[in-house]
Amino acid sequence: MDHFIYGRRFAEVDEVTAVVHDFIRSKPTKFYGDITHSVHEKRKKLIGNNVNFFVKVPEKCIIGEEGRGFFYQMLQFQDERLVAAAVLLEPLQRCISLTADYARDRKIFGSTVLEQQTVQFTLAELQSELEAVRALLYRAVLSRLHGDDVTLLASMAKLKAGRLARVVTDSCLQFWGGNGFTWDNPVCRMHRDLRLHSVGAGADEVMLSIICKYMGIAPPKPRF
């Protein structure tokens, strides 16, 4: 099925407010059975990813127990954050590799872009940072498989992967020059799309708050 529905009932109406994610690219949004469309939000970044809020669905389409949607979301957040970090490894590696190949072929003022030491050092630094995030993620996943609480490691991995995505895509885009700003350039698209990973599944600031809590340095919440 193309959609995932998380819903709760409004007390005044016999309907459900739901969030529907349509991940089918290059297709119009589809709704099934009694589901009706209410509001459509156009995303600025993710091409072909439609997210629809406030659609009405019948009670029979509720997934799980009514009123427990937020609880279900919290239960799966650590796995989602591990996945959010994991799915960045390949595109970031591709971003670095594509940039190295382009810089190797692109000639300016009698030499290639890759012959400039600053380009070499930048790509080497990015590759090193990527491997560090990969090692952190592997450690977190191994702990998860052992049944340990991975809230701290998952938050760290998600934080560092999301921030690295911004650094890698921005740094690599610089070496493509004006060509890097063309709409169909793969690095340009990664620069747009991967920015989401510092926001989705918990923003960087949320990850930092969790890390502070586990370190025991977060201030106590005021009691009223």
Of 80, 125, 129, 205, which one is the catalytic site residue? 80
> Position 152: which residue type?
L
List all residues 6 or more positions away from 184 whose beta carbon is below 8 Å from its beta carbon: none
Nearest to 20 by CA among 44, 45, 202, 36: 36
Interhelix angle 151-174/204-215, rounded to 10 degrees, is 140
List all residues 6 or more positions away from 190 whose beta carbon is below 8 Å from its beta carbon: 91, 92, 94, 95, 165, 169
End-to-end CA distance of the chain: 46
DSSP-assigned states of every residue in 194-207: GGGGGTTTS-HHHH
What is the phi/psi pair of residue 42, to 5°? -90, 120
Q: What is the rounded distance in angstroms from the CA atom of residue 91 to the CA atom of residue 88?
A: 6
Q: What is the rounded distance in angstroms from the CA atom of residue 132 to the CA atom of residue 56?
A: 45
HEC secondary structure over 131-171: HHHHHHHHHHHHHHHCCCCCHHHHHHHHHHHHHHHHHHHHH
Question: Catalytic site residue 80?
Answer: yes
Residues identified as active-site: 80
